[in-house]
Structure 1
Amino acid sequence: MAGQVVERDINDIFDDIALVENNIANKSYHVGFEEGLTEGTKEGHALGYAHGIALGEEIGDMYGFVVAQLQFQHTSKIKRSLEHLRHAIDDFISNIDVNIDNKTALEQIRVQFRRLQVMSEIKSDCKIDKNTVDIRKDLSF
């Protein structure tokens, strides 16, 4: 019986006709959701990469400043602050975890750096800007 035809109930056929708009909307939603998820992942990766570059530049500038200042003669208080800041940056770099929020540790490092600059009256070219870290996409229309 190779040519066997499957019969469908007439009510099922009418349901398919009546719900065609609903079925197309559901299929379109799922296709759009999958495409949006893919595009969102790509965009999120690009945004995260840019965020990482800005953060790395900021931390690198501060670390370079601290290491350079450790080569000069300073008071014991400033020397301790430099060592403490270098240790805090080393800890931050070695313990960075993408699953937790690192903002608290980063803010502490920024505060220590500013305090060190005020204590030592040393000018630095390091750009500490909160806006470089809090990059957010504007979703308004």
Structure 2
Amino acid sequence: MIEKFMRAPYREGARGPIAFDCWGLCRAIRHEFFGLDLLPSLGGVGKDKIRANTKAYRVLRKAMEECRPEPGAIAAVLRGEALLHVGTVLLSEGRLKVLDTNPGGACLRTTGEFEAAHPKVVYYRDKLQDVHLSDQKSG
């Protein structure tokens, strides 16, 4: 199942199912892999729309709680208070990894590799939502 996301091209503002930007991929993975509610589309967010990204982040994080990396968590990339990028934590090959996408295409990296590539990463899970390793569908 993960292969279809790895092959999907990056397209600014795309929410799937054929192409995705980072927010579109995050929404789809959390919904399809973990059965979580589909988060808002947030049509105004995008790769170079830091102000819109940060405004949406401030609203959405009210329904989330900070956590350690875990399957289904959103990996939020920050510079100061500004939201730059997002990915989603998956369990792959027995390791926690982050799946994200950029103009170069989708990338699956360990949480350590993802953190090393970005200025600051904070992980969030939905409040009142139990996400268990056994709930994740095999990729």
**Bigger fraction of residues in helix:** 1
**Bigger fraction of residues in strand:** 2
Same fold (TM over 0.5): no
TM-score, normalisation: structure 1? 0.27
Please identify the structure whose Cα radius of gyration is greater.
Answer: 1
TM-score, normalisation: structure 2? 0.28
